[in-house]
Structure 1
């Protein structure tokens, strides 16, 4: 289980700063970390740094062993399905392969979830989806509303394990911020769910994700 991490306060700032060093390329896999130098550089206490290291260790980023001391673990050990790791990786140096993998994962998960949602959603869950879509059209923070829609979709699918994919859906940075109107694509998904049309819901979600991927490629790599 990952260490509890709220992202707030000095503790959160220390975790974020160390993660930025790793994902920004300052520290690479296998590099040893000078804990004393890090503590002085970040201006934090030994306790604060130790707690931050615990968080990053739980996420598979940092390890410790005799003679080598504290070090950055190989990428194969990183918990790439952890929401914070996805966020840090997406915010770091452009990595087309990683974003492609995230898009493929979402394409495997979300269209079938939309189909399930069309067949299983409750009236209350449908209301939640509709409120998220309304907020997407009118809110000053459409990105948050977009995330709320996708989280509500996972819940409406009625599969407890798939609901846990929220960490991936909510942090990948692919479907948000393209500058295009997000409402029509989401409305097509919602309409199909409202009509209990599983096939149409699945197709609409696939089209929505494909457009998000094209927008992400244009925005980040062209």
Structure 2
């Protein structure tokens, strides 16, 4: 399972610790999502993939089982392992979402991401304004400050912003709503690496300022104001992404 924040950390170019199992999953999964291995195509034989990725049959088979559980491939007797139709992919899987960072730009897909964010973030904010504790507020203020002092570090800013989203989800005290974090991480990574609506430094400054105001609204239990500010945060990310 991918660790929350892994995609944001990758923006700094720091190499991740190599694990053969996750390495093969990432190589094949990213190749499928980015279109290198098209939908309907049959993957190479075990022998070829073992040589390509430098792994044992056991590691390869376990990786393919993981990808099958994510809906990306299906094994068929006498046919091999075939790339599944996109309708079967688990798009809320954080690892699958992370692979879309390197995929060709897709406006329709980005629109879908922001629709899902809006659908899940609205109840999060409403619940957070009612259920937050003093500790939740303290953590939100801390991470907002980290956003403000991140400077040119995309990693520090992105991780701090993701932490604010995480605290909000925790404060809502609804475990299923937390599934939005994978969607948020992808849209945030896309926004941080594009200069669409405004220069990157202006985007980060405006985003930090909005989150400070959001924290204040949640702390004061002002659900409607918090929703309005959070919608502005989302539109800011959308403007940078599309």
Q: Fold match, TM over 0.5? A: yes
Which residue of 154, 175, 191 corresponds with 2:216? 191
Task: Confirm or deny: 8 A CA contact 2:121 2:180 kept in the other structure.
Answer: no
**TM-score, length of structure 1 as denominator length:** 0.89
Runs of 4 or more above 4 Å deviation: 4-8
Q: Within 5 A, what are the aligned runs for 1:1-222?
A: 4=1, 8-34=18-44, 35-139=46-150, 140=153, 141-172=156-187, 173-177=189-193, 179=200, 180=203, 181=205, 182-217=207-242
Contiguous gaps of at least 5 residues in structure 2: 4-15, 195-199
Q: 2 CA distance for matches of 1:153 and 1:91? A: 28
How many residues in Structure 1 have an aligned counterpart in Structure 2? Answer: 214
Task: Confirm or deny: 8 A CA contact 1:128 1:152 kept in the other structure.
Answer: yes
Q: 1 CA distance for matches of 2:64 and 2:22? A: 11
Task: Confirm or deny: 8 A CA contact 2:140 2:164 kept in the other structure.
Answer: yes
Paired residue secondary structure (1:25)? coil
Task: Confirm or deny: 8 A CA contact 2:2 2:94 kept in the other structure.
Answer: no
RMSD: 1.8
More divergent stretch after superposition (46-55 vs 141-150): 46-55
Residue 220 (structure 1) aligns with: none
Return closer, same or farther for 1:5/1:154 CA change in 2, 3 Å cut-off: closer
Once the 2 structures are TM-superposed, how far is the Cα of residue 96 of structure 1 from its aligned partner? Answer: 1.4
**TM-score, length of structure 2 as denominator length:** 0.82
